[in-house]
Structure 1
């Protein structure tokens, strides 16, 4: 039988385009098949956040960063919902496959570690954009907020989805049971997203807490989207872009390394 490789080139070429696209398509179909969970539920949750703040605080709350308080809240709630859904997409896909014992169906095809990372993360980005666009359409119709820097806002949304999608892969590889994943979600992901300026400007925080917040990459994601939407932010959006790019690259490198080693994946 003839060798399927020549000078290190795989039978499918240096890049398995068909395999990578198939994995991306599978991940997209996963969340599209349960759109009530992946679209309707985030929309309702985001709407409830806005409704609760509007009813609890109302017009008594003055402007924040020179804009109405609800306008200040919208980018943070949108980004928080996007990154939570991106994390949920990749983490649930891998963990369910591990628990059910069919992760081998993903590991056996001729997909390199890079292709696996891209396939899973692309699914997380797709779900993040799916949710983000839906929320923004509703907000634009009912609140009439005009996006100040749409391209920059889109870049931060994609970076946020990639970062949390990668973090979801890391969490799913590390966890072997659903309660372990629940612990990671409750004690890592949720605090990162809630304590990052989502509902407040960090100027109101004590100095030491401001410093701690600046160590949280999610702060720069939310702050970057806020700048893209309302043109105001707590820090430089260009610094945020650098931090987000570096954080995303680091997390995706860890995903690649663990896939390459088969860490907690292979029997």
Structure 2
């Protein structure tokens, strides 16, 4: 039976490599998504800052900030492991992963935590940049940070799966553009999705991003309802399931083994 953890030095080394990889190009990996989120805040917030967000006592800027932080974390966390693995496929070095003296759990977790760190970093910096616009407004800092971490961990796990299964950047960009981006927009980032009519409102029940954005916003605004605990349960199930699938895909050597 394979040991889950037996090479701490190797694990830390691989994790450090994944963090240093995106820290070497901060303009592309950190600054670019941060500027995009600030532009969203400036454009949408500037036009609608006096409007109510559909939540009593909350203006649109306050509503928008946690959504942008979540969206930044989602994209950054997903892209880190997926692009790392596809880059190794492009360079024909992906098979080297098989030679690492580490368990599959350690390898998977190193890639996932690298993506989690990047996601949390982008999410926190997005929030920090909004202080200039709306001041320091954060009711539960540690819970808010935990929500960003959980969101990042989930999408880093999905990014690992995508990086192993897909074999080129075109397919990855298609997945980001056609699937993840619409899910983010319809996940409550920019507006209260529950107030939309008919099918558009019902989409939130099958949108994995909706619970994560709603939980993050609840911790940011200190607005809870009975449904928040149900959403937290859904989020926990998604996180565990995605992580286990990622480890299983990694263990089976999908996208790594030479066929």
Match of 1:62 in 2: 52
Matched, 1:46 2:37: yes
Distance in 1 of aligned mates of 2:180 and 2:249? 20
Distance in 1 of aligned mates of 2:74 and 2:115? 9
TM normalised by structure 1 equals 0.90
Root-mean-square deviation (CA, aligned residues, Å) is: 1.9
Matched, 1:195 2:209: no
Alignment partner of 1:112 out of 98, 103, 108:
103
Distance in 2 of aligned mates of 1:251 and 1:63? 32
**Using a 3 Å threshold, how does the CA distance of structure 1 residues 115 and 124 change in structure 2: closer, same or farther?**
same
Secondary structure, counterpart of 2:210 in structure 1: helix
Larger Rg: 1 or 2?
Answer: 1
Alignment partner of 2:237 out of 239, 246, 250:
246
Distance in 2 of aligned mates of 1:63 and 1:246? 29
Structure 2: 5+ residue runs without aligned partners? none
2:38·2:129 contact (CA, 8 Å) conserved in 1?
no
TM normalised by structure 2 equals 0.92
Stretches of 4+ moved more than 4 A in 1?
Answer: none
Distance in 1 of aligned mates of 2:174 and 2:77? 17
Number of paired residues?
A: 257
Shift of 1:58: 4.6
Distance in 2 of aligned mates of 1:69 and 1:234? 19
2:69·2:124 contact (CA, 8 Å) conserved in 1?
no
**Using a 3 Å threshold, how does the CA distance of structure 1 residues 235 and 221 change in structure 2: closer, same or farther?**
farther
Matched, 1:35 2:26: yes
Distance in 1 of aligned mates of 2:215 and 2:101? 38
1:77-133 CA-partner distances (Å, limit 9, x unpaired): 110011100011111001110121111222211121111111001101110121122
Structure 1: 5+ residue runs without aligned partners? 1-7
Distance in 2 of aligned mates of 1:163 and 1:212? 20
Secondary structure, counterpart of 1:148 in structure 2: coil
Shift of 1:233: 5.9
Deviates more, 1:128-137 or 1:200-209: 200-209
